Amino acid sequence: MTKTIQQQPSIATSKVSLKKCLVFDSGPIITLTMNGVLWILEEIKKQYGGEFIIPQSVKEELIDKSLSSKKFQFEAYRLQEQIEKGVIKVVKDPKTIAKAKTVLDMCNSLLERNHQAIRIVSLAEVEAVVMAKEYAADAVVIDERTMRKLIEKPSEVQKRIERKTHMPIHMNNNIREQLETEFAGIQVLRSIECILVAYKMKLLDRYLSNKDQSKQGKRKNLLSAILWAIKLRGASITADDINYLVKTQA
């Protein structure tokens, strides 16, 4: 499906056709930036042969708010560079925003405690997923556990909150069915898959010396190191997952 939308890079506005795209949420971009591997997006995008897009709300969260603070200002500049180069395109689509607000209301009415709805997700997260659906994206790239589980298995969100708060949480089944329809067909990837793709493409071999690049053991160590780095900076992956991935994919 081709959709023509108003694209809004940081400098100019132009129209672009999206035959093939991946929609990114803020989480994977934060993960890649904080681990110094944001640069892989430019390379894997060439391999992908489509566009990497983010909704305007994600851009606002990642860049606009961060530019005004000292702590993550440099990260915001690095990300802005990727947008200026066209590696990541920012999309502002009023129809998507309107739809996202409806879906957001649904998500935030799904779970209740004592007839009080629990707001579990924010607009930026939902907008990325809705955009993926509206634009028939190949997948939405999202690290954030709660939103991912809402797409794949909403009951796990309920169970988690119940377990952690030790309080009974009620799920509204009508809304669950509506959300299932909304999220049907959406595929989910995470930043880990982007890193694995980069690894398979031997992009990460730059971190090894020339003589080590041919040694499988060294490459395995490198993959393990990167996966542990992103895990320890908040990515949702367990030690067992890392061991499994290094064993089977390295």
Nearer to another protein, 10 or 187 (CB): 187
Least spacing, CB of residue 53 vs another protein, in Å: 15
Nearer to another protein, 175 or 189 (CB): 189
Nearer to another protein, 75 or 182 (CB): 75
Please state the three-class secondary structure of the chain as a single string: CCEEEEECCCCCCEEEEECCEEEECHHHHHHHHHCCCCCHHHHHHHHHCCEEEEEHHHHHHHHHHHHCCCCCHHHHHHHHHHHHCCCEEEECCHHHHHHHHHHHHHHHHHEEECCEECCCCCHHHHHHHHHHHHCCCCEEECCCHHHHHHHHCHHHHHHHHHHHHCCCCEECHHHHHHHHHHHCCCCEECHHHHHHHHHHCCHHHHHCCCCHHHCHHHHHHHHHHHHHHHHHCCCCCCHHHHHHHHHHHC
Least spacing, CB of residue 97 vs another protein, in Å: 10
Nearer to another protein, 3 or 45 (CB): 45
Least spacing, CB of residue 236 vs another protein, in Å: 5
Least spacing, CB of residue 128 vs another protein, in Å: 10
